[in-house]
Amino acid sequence: MKSDTAQSVSRRKFLKGGALAAGAAAGTLAAPAVVTAQSPIVLKMQSSWPASDVFQEMAQQYCDRVAKMSGDRLRIDLLPAGAVVGAFQVQDACHDGIIDCAHTVAVYWYGKHKAASFFGTGPVFGGSAAHMLAWYYAGGGADLYRELTQDVLGLNIVGFFGFPMPAQPLGWFKNEVKSAQDMNGLKYRTVGLAADLMQSMGLSVTQLPGGEIVPAMERGVIDAFEFNNPTSDMRFGAQDVAKNYMLSSYHQASESFEFIFNRDRFESLDPDLQAILQYAVEAASTSNYVLAMDQYSSDLQKLQEGGVNVVRTPTSVLEAQLTAWDKLIEQLGQDSINQKIMDSQKEWTERVVFFDLMNAPDYKLAYNHYFPGKITF
């Protein structure tokens, strides 16, 4: 039998040995595993905008949000118009898989089917871009878009919409427009159903991408034009070729950005990444609107200070546009998908815009109260 001292020493040796063994095992388990970082998935996106345009900045806001929301697992390589294909060809490029995605507006492919313009530059029946974006998401617009692009046109794409744009100005003119007759015979740039509308009002219309507008004006190909907003127009140099800027129009009272994805590429991604691509559109919609309100108002002020005659389009011209829309709506309704979309939009706006107009206070009244004399119409 061992003595108490011998037992104590033996126990100390055992505990010490066990501790060393446990430490060695722990050291083995704690050794860092060799992990190879997974490269992010990179999607190639081309926009329909020149690199210098504010719309390209808005597209980049979307790309930045996708990267952050995905923890940098997904990145979008954003290219300007013309980098791979022309501004009006991005939908075809997505369909064919030449690019993975595009940042554009639906009106740019209305040559395939005029119904495309209902998702950008349609009659909208008194609705704003915010009303029509709500129609897309809650009023059946998304299903009609899918039906048009996939069932009617057989396109291999999926798409989402974001950023309800402020109504587009009537545009830039060498002489101030005081009546609809002043526009008769003008060579004018616009796109989509707005081209049909203006042609019916006696204008000769040319459809051009944004980057080609001012050069066309300088060469005399056109003698009046619209693009979208004060910031884009100023960056194009519109103020160098015309001095009369007419705000307010029904030719493009509603438009939102279209985010197009090659369907096969989109569906190949994990569900969470698909969700990020979809819902980042909503996140960017807010940031786009904030940027627009800041930049558009600031640049309009700069245009005025630079000698541009900024005026509101006369009511008589707006009324002439509505009359022209009435005739165009009747013609468009001869196509079943056109009529289906217009019926859906009209039903939506009758209910939603009624609420909005009844509920909204008179903002002009309040503005005049605090800033008397600034608004003269």
CATH number, domain of 152, equals: 3.40.190.170
Spatial separation of the C-alpha atoms in residues 316 and 261, rounded to whole Å = 42
Residue 264 forms part of a structural domain: yes
Residue 310 forms part of a structural domain: no
Residue 233's Cβ-side half-sphere holds a number of Cα atoms within 13 Å equal to 36
Spatial separation of the C-alpha atoms in residues 237 and 227, rounded to whole Å = 12
Spatial separation of the C-alpha atoms in residues 261 and 106, rounded to whole Å = 13
Nearest Cα to 52, choosing from 82, 90, 93, 92? 82
Spatial separation of the C-alpha atoms in residues 123 and 131, rounded to whole Å = 13
Nearest Cα to 67, choosing from 272, 286, 269, 276? 276
Spatial separation of the C-alpha atoms in residues 311 and 237, rounded to whole Å = 18
Helix or strand or coil: residue 281?
helix
**Could you report the per-residue pLDDT of 160-209, keeping only the tens digit for each?**
999 999 999 999 999 999 999 999 999 999 999 999 999 999 999 999 98
> Residue 125: what pLDDT?
96
CB-based contacts of 311: which residues, under 8 Å, 6+ apart?
176, 244, 245, 246, 247
Nearest Cα to 249, choosing from 161, 179, 163, 312? 312
The total number of structural domains that make up the chain:
1
> Residue 270: what pLDDT?
97
Contact 321, 194 (CB under 8 A): no
By DSSP bridging, strand 171-173 and strand 224-225 are: antiparallel
Residue 270 forms part of a structural domain: yes
Residue 74's Cβ-side half-sphere holds a number of Cα atoms within 13 Å equal to 23
> Residue 297: what pLDDT?
98
Residue 125 forms part of a structural domain: yes
> Residue 28: what pLDDT?
43
Residue 78 forms part of a structural domain: yes
Residue 161 forms part of a structural domain: yes
Nearest Cα to 188, choosing from 167, 174, 207? 207
> Residue 224: what pLDDT?
95
Spatial separation of the C-alpha atoms in residues 172 and 309, rounded to whole Å = 10
> Residue 4: what pLDDT?
43
The model's pTM is 0.88
Spatial separation of the C-alpha atoms in residues 135 and 133, rounded to whole Å = 5
- Residue range(s) defining the domain that contains residue 271: 41-165+254-295
Give the DSSP letter of residue 268: T
> Residue 354: what pLDDT?
98
Residue 22 forms part of a structural domain: no
Contact 172, 242 (CB under 8 A): yes
Nearest Cα to 141, choosing from 360, 127, 280? 127
Q: Which residues of the chain have pLDDT under 50?
A: 1-36
Residue 66 forms part of a structural domain: yes
